[in-house]
Chains A and B, each alone.
Chain A
Amino acid sequence: MKPGLLDNRDFLAGLLFVAFGAGGFWVALSYPFGSVQQMGPGFFPRALGAILVGFGLVTMVRGLRSGVRVEGAWGWFPLAMLTVAIVAFGYLMEHVGLIPSLVVLVVASAYAGKEFRGLEVAILAAVMCAMAAGIFIWGLGLPYPLFAFEFGR
């Protein structure tokens, strides 16, 4: 049986290509195109955008024909959790210093995994903090405070 559109691997890939290509093309419309002899900054992105749309359409059609399913289930939860962990780390680094940022990163990312054991994660966070402080701050002399509470900056 053929999969539905939202489960069709190549159809989705093609759709993604078309979206990227069209988006790139559209944004590049505001850059001067120039001519083939004197290419402007808009020439390459528009050409690439158009080519990508073409590849995308081919991939979509092929997907409809072959009907290969996406393999395995989508891991939305770990994906979202890890993304949140990484983004939080970046934000916190600029405001509260290295140690709190690392703790949040380790705990939040560990939560994305299947087995979350409180004690283990606490030890892991402590070890990572010590390692990171040792390597990056003491060893490499990177200018990050361990703790800093500067939300106003």
Chain B
Amino acid sequence: MNRRIARAATAALATLAFAIPGLAFAQAGYPDKPVRLIVPFPPGGGTDIISRIVADKLSTTLGWKVVVENKAGAGGTLGLDAAAKSKADGYTLVMAQTSNLSIAPSLMPGLPYDPVKNFTPVTLVDAAPLAITVGASSPIKSMADLVAAAKAAPGKLLFASPGNSTVAHLTGEYFQKVAGIKYTHVPYKGTAQALPDVISGRASFYVASLESAMPQVKAGQLRAIAVTSAKRVAQWPDVPTVAESGYPGFEAITWFGIAVPAGTPDAIVARLNAEITKVLAMPDVKERLGGELTTGPAAFTALIKSDHDKWAGVIKEAGIKTQ
């Protein structure tokens, strides 16, 4: 008993000692100047909207001045690179996501940053599964139908995605591998032209973020045959997961999270994590982001690594060209 107390006390002391330099820093009034949140995509995209909600809430509730800076280009890697090269003083944050932290290393051999070494993850902000949808008049009603149709005519089904090397594209390739079938990938530039082709049946099925397919599914123009998360999603209780459609363990999600340059003082990372977690728990934010998950830096790091390994395997097997 005494030993346990002693051990706890030692641990507490150790933590305190470790935290003091950081605390002193934090108490010096962080943040005492504007904090910039680099968004590696142009204004208006999903990443940008999420970032602006978080920045806005941090500014209005805490009185911080969080400035969103869009630094788009090269699929988001330019923005991440700019963040990696910034001072690790807690005044530069970056809204990172699956493609930049977990996929880019396998696709771009000349990537100027190392997702693990150059960044300290702060917290996940949002994560969403993808939806597999077909046109409303399509004969395909389930994943089993999809697999049967692909087996009946190998390579003839047309798989539409919102772009090459996106998580949606890789998810389609991943399923092809898992199910042992073959279909033709048709990449689009975003959703503007992809949706008409899927709705009218010119493309056989579509893999894209839940959010982008939601309006059409609600309107009865598209039918969702599966979601790619491990569990069913709250919005669509009767849409099965791919895993329960006969492919246990199949999971593909896109996530967004805030990271800071490696070397940022631990106390600031902890402070950011605490404040952003509070923001994400606000009811109006919760409503706008699907967000049920908020995680500490450690779990975020683990996710970056496990997704990296998963997608690296898919990219290699599918023979997707590296740049």
Contact = CB atoms under 8 A, between A and B. Distances in A.
Do A and B have CB atoms closer than 8 angstroms in the complex? yes
B85 interface: yes
A143 B69 contact: yes
Contacts of B68: 143
A114 interface: no
Contacts of A153: 85-86
B320 to A, nearest CB: 14
B67 interface: yes
Contacts of A141: 67
A143 B67 contact: yes
Contacts of B232: none
Contact of A143 (B36, B85, B86): B36
A125 to B, nearest CB: 26
A98 to B, nearest CB: 14
Nearest to A144: B69
A143 B67 CA distance: 7
Interface residues of A, number: 3
A153 B88 CA distance: 12
Interface residues of B, number: 6
A144 to B, nearest CB: 9
Interface in B21-47: 36
Nearest to A94: B82
A141 B34 CA distance: 13
B107 to A, nearest CB: 16
B41 to A, nearest CB: 15
Nearest to B69: A143
Interface string B80-92: 0000011000000
Interface in A115-139: none
A143 B52 CA distance: 14
Contacts of B67: 141, 143
Nearest to B86: A153
Nearest to B70: A143
B168 to A, nearest CB: 21
Nearest to A41: B321
Interface string B150-190: 00000000000000000000000000000000000000000
A153 B83 CA distance: 10
A143 B36 CA distance: 8
A74 to B, nearest CB: 35
Contacts of A143: 36, 67-69
Contacts of B69: 143
A4 to B, nearest CB: 44
A47 B68 CA distance: 43
Interface in B75-122: 85-86
Contacts of B85: 153
A153 B85 CA distance: 7
Interface string A69-84: 0000000000000000
A139 to B, nearest CB: 15
A153 B68 CA distance: 19
A143 B85 CA distance: 18
A24 B197 CA distance: 33
A147 to B, nearest CB: 14
Nearest to A145: B34
A143 B66 CA distance: 10
A43 B67 CA distance: 44
Contacts of B36: 143
A153 B36 CA distance: 15
A88 B91 CA distance: 27
A67 B200 CA distance: 57
A141 B36 CA distance: 13
A153 B86 CA distance: 7
Interface of B: 36, 67-69, 85-86
Interface of A: 141, 143, 153
7 contacts: A141-B67, A143-B36, A143-B67, A143-B68, A143-B69, A153-B85, A153-B86
